[in-house]
Structure 1
């Protein structure tokens, strides 16, 4: 999966998504904060390949993008919209291929703008980036080549607080990025960030009306935060491999950025600091049981404004912990659901 996989729906229910046995599955709370339903298949009976993307707009509808096999040796991208967690998602609808035909070229990324239009980004056959976006009244526009060179497998797409879409990619020289300048426009290339980066560690979080903060680890395992008006700031040694999950939340009346990651011990590690004030410092605190390699971790605010954390093991075991009603970031016990 790419991007978020734990979201809060329009009705306040949390839902999670993951890929297994040629399908994307979804589980959702029956009521906000309550028990969870059984896994359900997303998008109908079509088979889809591993490596889907999930994005969410201000309307809190979920947009899913995946590759599906079309014929021998070829694949195409498909899209589904999930309006409410307990309703069935729409059937997968074809979008096409960045190079018209061919095999899967990279893990897609998706962001949804302020008008609810999904923007899909994917690496193409030449290891540049292609994009396509929904029209305002249904359907999709044509594919557009954003260029780029030697782009890595995974991209990161995010919608800024302005409602404009941004996309980030790694290359051997650092981070490439493309930004929208006005609603409905194609993202344009912005100045790249020349930095040593460990592939597969990018995460982007809108942290103010002006800025998106980019998080990444360097090859030595140091986690960094970067905004375009400054240099990358070393934060703390990463708790484990892969990207951190991030969310802005209220802690004791302060706007804070919370990081979560599966640590090298296998437990879930949390760290928080005042948003955009990296100089305040932070440290990891571990929580819950040791989890197997490949477990994904995510954090989100629930319908009551509490932090909700989730872990999902490769075989689909879901555990959830919620913030207690007390000062700080004390979590209730993790429970398997």
Structure 2
């Protein structure tokens, strides 16, 4: 079940494709992301938010090292962006848009677009507003988070002024409910939202003295406050994954030091890993016949760190590997169309680079290849 990398096996990182052409296509700076999703046809899709645009790459075919792209999708005025995916594999893009009026005042709203199929055009961007009614307060809204439940309902969460969090939902018919205040005044950053296979949506938000949680008593119900968790998450570090049916595990960096795993009704579990200041990534897979969770983050020294543990048995140990690959921002994880673990990161030169699980016991990664 141990994780190893190409570096650990003595291999060198090799670029793939026409290097000169690829260099010209690389973004100068990734503002949000990247995101790695599995499309409806088994091809992976990569999104990266750059200035005034979203770049998209699509696998030529499932598992192929060749990629099509980047396609340049307009995303004007977006300061932040996030991507969520539902069971139907639609990709929902949510952005925080900032515009300057003629009088110099800023107007901020949430905009939304959707991609229905891999490689197909993106829908037009539509505004879903801002929970602040007065224009002078719209700039107090933070970056959105999103989740899609099993029936296709989209949940959009934004932090607002005075530590509040607001929710807006779109049903399967495309009708948007009004903004709803989650009745909290201590949140300090964008929350982490998770949809489960049982149809529930859960939420965790960092606060000054704890982690705040919400859950649904039944699918589609209003979110209810859960118990606070006695870990103070580093803002921006938390990520959640369903580690067993209907049960979510959150991974985050505690501001007092170290990475922890938390689940409802349990004490936080220290995990080690020497994380930096970014967000963690997690994905479920089966290794050597065991249900496992694979973790990734940018370590304190700026390299991609990979961890493996038996699902919900973090106390039994997390096996960490330094992949030796320098990265900018946060690495992400996904399973490809063959069920292999894929790690994607922004390399030190700004290019996108990934490694895939190879055949054999445990989790061994291939050579890192540029898209």
Q: What band does the TM-score fall into relative to the shorter chain?
A: over 0.9
How far apart in 2 are the matches of 1:180 and 1:317? 40
Q: Structure 2 residue aligned with 1:36, among 64, 67, 71? A: 67
Instruction: Tell me the CA shift for residue 162 of structure 1.
Output: 1.2
Q: CA-to-partner distance for each residue in 1:287-321, whole Å, 9 max, x for gaps?
A: 24333xx3320111111111111112487411111
Structure holding more helix per residue: 2
Q: Contact conserved, 1:295 with 1:314, CA < 8 A, in 2? A: no
Q: Structure 1, residues 135-177: CA drift from partner, whole Å, max 9, x if none?
A: 2311311111112113122211110221211111111011111
**Structure 2 CA distance for partners of 1:117 and 1:3, relative to 1, 3 Å:** farther
Tell me, in whole angstroms, the C-alpha distance in 1 between the residues paired with 2:303 and 2:34: 20
Check the 8 A contact 1:296/1:313 in 2, yes or no: no
Structure number, greater radius of gyration: 2
SS at structure 2 position matched to 1:52: strand
CA contact under 8 A between 2:113 and 2:122: conserved in structure 1? yes
**Residue 57 of structure 2 is aligned with which of 10, 13, 27?**
27
Deviation at 1:208, TM superposition (A): 0.8
From 184, 192, 201, the equivalent of 1:148 is: 184
Alpha-carbon distance change, 234 to 98 in structure 1, aligned in 2, over 3 angstroms: same
Indicate yes or no: 2:345 matched with 1:311: yes
Shift in alpha-carbon separation, 1:228–1:81, aligned structure 2, 3 A: same
Gaps of 5+ in 1: none
- Structure 2 counterpart of 1:69, from 81, 89, 98: 98
Deviation at 1:323, TM superposition (A): 0.7
Aligned partner (choices 67, 76, 79) of residue 50 of structure 1: 79
2:114 maps to 81
Greater shift, 65-74 or 170-179, is seen at: 65-74
> Which protein, 1 or 2, shows the higher relative CO under an 8 Å CA cutoff with sep ≥ 6?
2
CA 14–64 in structure 1, closer or farther in 2 if over 3 Å, else same: same
Provide the TM-score with structure 2 as the length reference. 0.85
Q: Does 1:298 align with 2:332?
A: yes
Deviations 1:103-162 (A, max 9, x none): 251110000011111100001123200000102311311111112113122211110221
Q: Note if contact 2:284-2:291 (Cα within 8 Å) is conserved in structure 1.
A: yes
Structure 1 window deviating more from structure 2 (278-287 vs 107-116): it is: 278-287
Matches within 5 A, 1:106-121: 106-121=142-157
The root-mean-square deviation of aligned C-alpha atoms, in Å, is 1.9
| Partner SS for 1:147 | coil
State the match for 1:334 in structure 2: 368
State TM-score, norm by structure 1.
Answer: 0.93
Alignment partner of 2:315: what SS? Answer: helix
Tell me the SS of whatever aligns to 1:333: coil
1:195-250 deviation per Cα after TM superposition (whole angstroms, max 9, x unaligned): 23322211111111141001111124311111112111112143332222110111
Cα 1:8–1:140 change in 2 (3 A) is same
d(CA) in 2 for partners of 1:147, 1:54: 25
Distance 1:143 1:239 in 2: 35
Q: 1:57 to 1:121 in 2, by over 3 A?
A: same
Is the contact between residue 234 and residue 277 of structure 2 (CA under 8 Å) also seen in structure 1? Answer: no
Look up the match of 1:323.
Answer: 357
Q: Which of 59, 62, 83 is 2:88 aligned to?
A: 59
Change over 3 Å in CA distance of 1:2–1:232 after alignment to 2: farther
Q: Deviations over 1:254-290 (max 9, x none)?
A: 1000111122333321110110011211231122433
Cα distance in 2 for partners of 1:180, 1:41 equals 38
